[in-house]
Amino acid sequence: MKDVAVRVDHVSMKYKLMSGKVNSLKQVFINAMTRKITYEEFSALEDVSFEIQKGEVFGVVGLNGAGKSTLLKIVAGIIKPTSGAVERFGSLVPLIELGGGFNAELTGFENIYLNGMLLGYSKKFIKERTNEIIEFSELEKFIHTPLKNYSSGMKARLGFAIATLVKPEILIVDEVLSVGDYKFKEKSEAKMKSLMSSGTTVLFVSHSIEQMKSMCNRVLWLDQGRVKEIGPAVEVCEKYQSQ
């Protein structure tokens, strides 16, 4: 039996949402002072449990608002669940909100060092691999330009090139293959497949069901924050498509 790479145990995530109509910031302060603000509880995830085996490509499908991105952020350790626990067995790289650690005032070149060190790379390692990052991101002409002048696609390409520089044991991917133009999508998908084939465990979200069918071993179907089904990728995806 394969070893477990990720274990999600009875995870729930609840948020408090302000109820009632508020027309201005002033009204929010008035309501807060007079204690008229009431909250409703919103459950983004409800009692979610599953295991991912080492080397497995595990997908998550569901409609918008089903809790997919929340689940990935919890597994990545970006946010803490309200209840339940997550165990990760191995080094992890989250390809979520690519370039989230970038500084808009710094150049692309400077952000390579900033983001790389946030991911735990040494300064020496980054220096040795900077040219590789720039070449993969296809940003040679703009690498010394401040990031505030980059498009969202350019930032995502730089973030992807930095994050996939090393082979992690666990990779979390949220719609990252939609970044950039068609040519870059092909290149990033090839990089992903290379990581997958070399034994990296992948937790994967994509709106492309055909991509899920072709790349995943198993798929979890989330429906309004609850597990509807877990099973072989093609089987679960076809049920999801036919709903």
The verdict on 57 and 161 lying in the same domain is: no
Residue 96 included in any domain: no
In the prediction, which pLDDT does 168 show?
A: 85
Confidence bin at 1 (pLDDT 50/70/90): very low
- Interacting residues of 2 by C-beta distance below 8 A, sequence separation 6+: 53, 54, 55, 56
The verdict on 180 and 162 lying in the same domain is: no
**Which of 11-25, 36-50, 168-182, 221-235 reaches the highest mean pLDDT?**
221-235
Residue 78 included in any domain: yes
End position of a domain, from candidates 122, 150, 166: 166
Share above pLDDT 90 across residues of the chain, in percent, rounded to a whole number? 54
Q: What CATH number has the domain bearing residue 208? A: 3.40.50.300
Whole-number average pLDDT of the chain: 87
Domain count, the chain: 2
| Mean pLDDT computed over 212-239 | 95
Confidence bin at 38 (pLDDT 50/70/90): low
The verdict on 112 and 83 lying in the same domain is: no
The verdict on 56 and 176 lying in the same domain is: yes
* Distances 200 to 57, 68, 93, 123 between C-alpha atoms, Å: 8, 21, 11, 24
Tokens of 17: 């949402």
In the prediction, which pLDDT does 122 show?
A: 92
Residue 71 included in any domain: yes
Residue 28 included in any domain: yes
The verdict on 172 and 105 lying in the same domain is: no
Q: Which of 32-46, 96-110, 113-127, 225-239 has the lowest mean pLDDT?
A: 32-46
Residue 197 included in any domain: yes
In the prediction, which pLDDT does 26 show?
A: 64
Share above pLDDT 70 across residues of the chain, in percent, rounded to a whole number? 86
Report pLDDT digits (tens) over 120-149.
Answer: 889 999 999 999 999 999 999 999 999 999
End position of a domain, from candidates 132, 148, 166: 166
End position of a domain, from candidates 140, 166, 192: 166
The verdict on 41 and 81 lying in the same domain is: yes
The verdict on 15 and 81 lying in the same domain is: yes
The verdict on 162 and 173 lying in the same domain is: no
The verdict on 11 and 68 lying in the same domain is: yes
Check residues 115 and 47 and name the one with the higher pLDDT.
Answer: 47
Closest CA to 48 of 83, 17, 90, 94: 83
Q: Left (φ > 0), alpha (ψ -120 to 50) or beta: where does 36 sit?
A: alpha
Residue 206 included in any domain: yes
Residue 25 included in any domain: yes
Residue 86 included in any domain: yes
| Mean pLDDT computed over 170-174 | 88
The verdict on 128 and 140 lying in the same domain is: yes
The verdict on 68 and 158 lying in the same domain is: no
Q: Which of 178-182, 188-192, 221-225 has the lowest mean pLDDT?
A: 178-182
- The domain of 147 spans 101-166
The verdict on 138 and 226 lying in the same domain is: no
